[in-house]
Structure 1
């Protein structure tokens, strides 16, 4: 597969970012942490790692270790991850630049993640990344991704309603998260940072890019922002009302 789509522009009223695999890559830290936790609770760490990405810890524990499937344990366990393994995380290329440009423009954005609040807050602090005004975390909804509830709540936290969903962009790397964004009625940009392009494509996002170096804010007006997307795999035809070729 080649990432050769010519640049095009799309306008959105708000952006909803997944966290791990979209803003940061904490894979190395997560592997170390789940090995420690798995050994402590008597569950094969490899079994956990095979199904953990994009899913809430509490949902995995309900199946693998039901006695640990409570918020007190999960929040404590996840709070330790950035404290113990903060040096093992890296930024997704282009993420900081995109967030900085959105903040400078006063754009509507937030983070919608399967991690708990202590985990997300810990990573943002360790990585010195901006904190959104409102977070949607694992504790915020009854059902995790691929259920759309988290992205519906993210939209509401931006002050937008259901009719605005087609003009909201979800940025995701996991198939479960991509499906959640689509089920919420949003446009979805899939990143090939944690899964193969074939796995991301199978989840049916609107566009696929390698990372956020392919996304650049090029305009802001009336609360909406225009993004230029380049070097993408075209997986659907962008809506004519929101998409224009990029100016040369």
Structure 2
């Protein structure tokens, strides 16, 4: 979105604090998340597209309880931690080019993604194997990553790929773009400026990710983990999004009324949770197109946080100016 874009409306209001969702709102790790759910879907012989669609914006614990047959409640926490470490492992995998094998196997008739995946040669694990338990676990994760990288390449946009080319100072070849896979965690537009404009005691994170994933993403993007950070594995939470519980708990920990909070969200389930909490909800079109989130109850819909300005007033309130 150009800085010269003229918006039709400008709205100004005050609040006492901000509650951020994390992934898709502060950070973008969608490629790594979808790679991890793709691997899990394949493991369970499920359709990856359906699994990805059903799991977005919800707690991994809720998703795994629904997807994994016979998973016992006492084992959920360990399974969530293992799954979220897999996401971060995908995110830390350096970008690879699949030009030689992917291009040669691409065919208009190849609509079965499982067939496409099996037709490609696996990538070489980045770390040599050894016989220590930690090394064996790393090798296992890297093997799964290598296998799934090919399968998830079609998910990545040319915009993301072109950014990688710029960072590498290498010429951008649109034909080769589809063959570069980059799953690193990125900070989203306007986020750093937004956080820097807020006093530390005025904002919190309330995410459907557990602590491993949440802290991992924030650390990878240089976002300081706030003192109030409600994650999906918080023992006080009985329900996750789309129920309002995460935002209600975050507001309570922040010492503000939920009706005096501003929620930033990107997913339908998160928007519903924010609305149900009584907060003012600003939806960002970072993971879903506007038509997918415009009829869920959000008070404002913006393309990025660049359209929102926050000022800290002398009386302690926050004044928001939203261009939309």
1:9 correspondence with 2:12: yes
1:115 correspondence with 2:118: no
The CA deviation string for residues 129-161 of structure 1, in whole angstroms up to 9 with x for no partner, is 11100211111212111111111101111012x
| Alignment partner, residue 205 of structure 1 | 298
How is 1:114-133 mapped onto 2 (pairs within 5 angstroms)? 114-133=208-227
| Alignment partner, residue 49 of structure 1 | 52
Choose from 264, 273, 278 the match for 1:185: 278
| Alignment partner, residue 157 of structure 1 | 253
| Unpaired segments ≥5 residues, structure 2 | 93-182
| Alignment partner, residue 238 of structure 1 | none
The CA deviation string for residues 68-92 of structure 1, in whole angstroms up to 9 with x for no partner, is 4611111221133223314522221
How is 1:32-111 mapped onto 2 (pairs within 5 angstroms)? 32-68=35-71, 70-86=76-92, 88-102=184-198, 105-111=199-205
Q: Secondary structure at the match of 1:88?
A: coil
Task: Measure, in 2, the Cα distance between the counterparts of 1:80 and 1:157.
Answer: 30
| Unpaired segments ≥5 residues, structure 1 | 233-248
Mapped contact 1:13–1:168 kept (Cα < 8 A) = yes
* Alignment root-mean-square deviation, CA: 1.9
Question: Larger strand proportion, structure 1 or 2?
Answer: 1
The CA deviation string for residues 45-100 of structure 1, in whole angstroms up to 9 with x for no partner, is 22211112111111122222143461111122113322331452222100111011
Aligned length: 225
Tell me how far 1:214 sits from its aligned partner: 0.6
Tell me how far 1:106 sits from its aligned partner: 4.2
Task: Measure, in 1, the Cα distance between the counterparts of 2:184 and 2:276.
Answer: 33
